[in-house]
Amino acid sequence: MADAQSGAHEELMALYEAAVEAAHPSFCLPSHLPPVPPQGRLIVVGAGKAAAAMAQASEAHYRAQGCLDRVQGVVTAPYGYAEALPEKPTVIEVLAARHPTPDANSVRAAERALSLASGATEHDLVLVLLSGGASALWAAPASGIDIAAKTALTRGLLKCGADIHEMNTVRRHVSRIKGGRLRKAAAKAPMLTLAISDVPGDDPAAIGSGPTVPDRTTLADARAVLAHRRAQMDMLGLVVPPSVDAALSDPANETPKPADPAFETSTYRIVATPAAALARAAAKAHDLGYAVVSLGDAVVGEARDVAAEHARLALEAKRKGGRTAIISGGELSVTVRNAGGRGGRCQEYALALAVALAGEPGISALAADTDGIDGGEGKVTDAAGAIVTPATLSGDLSLDARHYLDNNDATSFFEKAGGLIVHGPTQTNVNDFRVLLIDA
C-alpha cells in the first residue's frame, strides 16, 4: 500500500510539473517577442507572478539579438520572486510588491510603469508583459482613494468569495492604471501586450484587470457587485470604505471603451493559457497509462461543492474499472466562515475531497495553484496546494477533518495529516490545476 501511494504521489507531481512547464516564460515567451524599433526604444513594463521570469526571458532574447542596449523597462513581481530566479534581469528592473492585496510598493510600481509608458514616443514600442497577479501588484488608486481603502476593498471581496470577474469589475473602476488606462497613458506610442492567461476563457479584460484593453463594464456594474456582496462583507465585519463608494459614483472614473482611438495602435497576444497547460498534463497522463477525462479550464463554484462533485465522478470511474485521470482547471471560490483559518481554495478543495472520498482505496488527487502559492499570506514559503491519498483520513484525524473544513483551516489539517505541497514560486500562473487518479 505504501508503495502504491508513493507511486501515485510521484505521478500526481509529474502531472503538476507538466502543466507548469507548459506556461513557463522561458518556454512560451521568446517566439512572440517583437523586434526593437529601428529608430526608437523598446520600453518594457509589466506586472504579475510571471513578470520577473518574463523579464529574464526577454533580456536573454534581446542580448542574443545584440540589441539589449536599446531596451529599458521595469516590471513588478511579488516579494521573493526575483530572488528565486536562477539569474536576475539586469537591464529590466524588477520591483517587488505584495500579493494578493496591494501595499505601498504596489502604488510606487504602478506610478513607475505609468511614467515610463507616458514618456514613450511614436518611434518607440511599449511592450507590456502581463500575467496573473498584476491587479494587486499595480495599484494606482483613483483620486480620493488611498492604499488602505484599496487594500480593505480587495481583502473584503476576497473574503466574501467574489469571483475574478466581480473583483476585476470593481478594481478597474477605482484605478488609474487598470481597465485600459495604461494604454491611454502611452497613447503616443504603439503598444504590444504579451500575456500569460490565468482566467477561464482568456479574456484580456480580466487578465490583470485589463490595463491595456478597453473595458466593457461600467461604474454601474461595479456598484452592483458591491451591492451584491455587501451583506457578506458586513457579516465578516469588513466595511467598504466611503471613499470607494464615492469613487464609484464619480463619472470621471468611467473606463475607456472600445471606440477610443488609443486602442487602434495596440495589439494583444496571449502566449500561454490554462487550456494549454491542461493539454500538456493530459498528454503526460496518457504516457503514464491513464485514460483522461478533462473537465476543462473553466470550472468554477464553491471549492467544497466542486470537490464533492469530483469525488462522485471519481467513485463512478472506479466502479467502471481501469485507470482514469480526471483533470480540471479554473478558479474556485471559498466563502470564509472562520477568518482565523488558514489555506487557499486548492487546499480547501483537497480537504473537502478527502472528506467526500472517505479513504476510498485506489483514488488519489492533487490540487495546487500553478503559481506555486495557494492562499496564505502570499509568502514564497506558503503551500501551493495539497495531495490526497486513501491514507489522508487515517487515524484520529478522521474525526477532525470536517471540523477543519468547517473552519476554513485546511492548511492546519494537512500540516498534521501530511500532503501539503510546498513548491515556491513557479514563475508563471495559469490558474489552478486539479487531477484525480483512479486505479481500479
**pLDDT tens column, 194-244:** 999 998 889 999 899 999 999 999 999 999 999 999 888 888 888 889 999
- Residue intervals of the chain classified under CATH 3.40.50.10180 are 28-140+175-217+255-272
- Confirm if 185 and 117 have CB atoms less than 8 A apart: yes
Give the separation between CA 19 and CA 132, rounded to whole angstroms: 16
Work out the pLDDT band at 40, boundaries 50, 70, 90.
Answer: very high
- Classified by CATH at the fold level, domain 2-20+275-439 comes out as glycerate kinase, domain 1 (3.40.1480)
- Residue intervals of the chain classified under CATH 3.40.1480.10 are 2-20+275-439
Mean pLDDT, range 367-387, rounded to an integer: 91
Give the separation between CA 314 and CA 160, rounded to whole angstroms: 29
Give the separation between CA 11 and CA 254, rounded to whole angstroms: 49
Q: What was the pLDDT predicted at 2?
A: 53
CATH code for the part of the protein at 28-140+175-217+255-272: 3.40.50.10180
The three-point CA angle 418-11-429 to 5° equals: 80
**pLDDT tens column, 317-338:** 999 999 999 999 998 989 888 7
Lowest-pLDDT range, 286-290, 291-295, 329-333?
A: 329-333
Percent pLDDT > 70 in the chain is 98
Helix ranges (H only) for 263-400 are 274-287, 303-320, 345-357
- For 82, 123, 194, 362, the CA distances from 71, given in Å and listed in that order, are 19, 13, 16, 54
Least Cα distance to 127 among 282, 310, 269 occurs for 269
Mean pLDDT, range 132-136, rounded to an integer: 92
**pLDDT tens column, 232-254:** 888 888 888 999 999 999 999 99
The secondary element (H helix, E strand) that includes residue 153 is helix 147-159
**pLDDT tens column, 71-99:** 999 999 999 999 999 989 999 999 999 98
Starting from the edge strand earliest in sequence, which strands make up the sheet with 385-388, in order?
291-294, 323-329, 432-439, 363-369, 385-388, 420-421
pLDDT above 60: residue 363: yes
Least Cα distance to 191 among 125, 260, 114, 130 occurs for 125
pLDDT above 60: residue 1: no
Q: Are strands 363-369 and 323-329 parallel, antiparallel or unpaired?
A: unpaired
pLDDT above 90: residue 385: yes
Give the separation between CA 321 and CA 439, rounded to whole angstroms: 8
Q: Which residues of 381-415 are buried (b: 16+ CB within 10 A; e: fewer)?
A: ebbbbbbbbbbbbeeebeebbeebbebbbbbbbbe
Give the separation between CA 89 and CA 91, rounded to whole angstroms: 6
Mean pLDDT, range 334-356, rounded to an integer: 92
Q: What is the overall mean pLDDT for the chain?
A: 94
Give the separation between CA 408 and CA 344, rounded to whole angstroms: 9
Give the separation between CA 56 and CA 440, rounded to whole angstroms: 45
User: Would the pTM of this model clear 0.85, i.e. be above it?
Assistant: yes
Q: What was the pLDDT predicted at 239?
A: 85
**pLDDT tens column, 93-123:** 999 999 888 899 999 999 999 999 999 999 9
Q: How many CB atoms lie within 10 A of CB 340?
A: 8
pLDDT above 90: residue 176: yes
Q: Which residue has the cell 502566449?
A: 271
